[in-house]
């Protein structure tokens, strides 16, 4: 019994998939609107096997969903200046200061 081939991404490379898409765009520059145009696209795609089309589709999707390469490193930024004598406040000033305190520190009104 043959082992099934497990394809984590695609058997096509990014360059091959891009080449396929560019050829499609060159051959069919506009979206097919009539039945005749749609039949021409279907006839062109019928030249390829299902496995080839799926491989191109997988590669295109994986390239689109892939995280872009990191171009900025933390070392690119200058170090943050340290100000002397400045302490962060425990609670913000104003009306919302009471809401920032823990529940046990808030005053509760008595119900009658």
43 vs 27: CA distance, rounded Å:
12
- pLDDT tens string for the chain (112 positions)? 555 554 555 688 888 999 999 999 999 999 999 999 999 999 999 999 999 999 999 888 888 887 766 677 777 777 777 776 666 656 555 555 555 556 665 666 667 6
Assigned token pair, 90: 């425990």
Residue 57: which domain range?
14-65
What total of structural domains would you count in the chain?
Answer: 1
Asked if the structure places residue 44 within a domain, the reply is: yes
Asked if the structure places residue 112 within a domain, the reply is: no
Asked if the structure places residue 94 within a domain, the reply is: no
Task: With beta carbons less than 8 A apart as the criterion, state whether 38 and 28 touch.
Answer: no
Asked if the structure places residue 45 within a domain, the reply is: yes
Asked if the structure places residue 106 within a domain, the reply is: no
14 vs 25: CA distance, rounded Å:
16
pTM for the model = 0.51
Asked if the structure places residue 29 within a domain, the reply is: yes
For position 65, what pLDDT does the model report?
Answer: 84
The position carrying tokens 């043959």 is 2
For position 8, what pLDDT does the model report?
Answer: 54
For position 73, what pLDDT does the model report?
Answer: 76
SS (H, E, C) 18-79: HHHHHHHHHHCCCCCCCHHHHHHHHHHHCCCCHHHHHHHHHHHHHHHHCCCCCCCCHHHCCC
Asked if the structure places residue 102 within a domain, the reply is: no
Asked if the structure places residue 99 within a domain, the reply is: no
């Amino acid at each position: 019994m043959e082992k099934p081939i497990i394809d984590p991404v695609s058997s096509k490379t990014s360059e091959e998939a891009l080449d396929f898409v560019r050829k499609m765009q060159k051959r069919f520059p506009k979206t097919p609107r009539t039945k005749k145009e749609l039949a021409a696209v279907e006839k062109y795609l019928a030249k390829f096997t299902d496995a080839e089309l799926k491989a191109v589709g997988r590669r295109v999707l994986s390239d689109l969903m892939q995280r872009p390469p990191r171009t900025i490193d933390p070392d690119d930024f200058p170090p943050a200046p340290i100000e002397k004598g400045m302490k962060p406040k425990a609670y913000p000033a104003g009306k919302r200061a009471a809401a920032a305190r823990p529940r046990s520190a808030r005053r509760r009104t008595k119900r009658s």
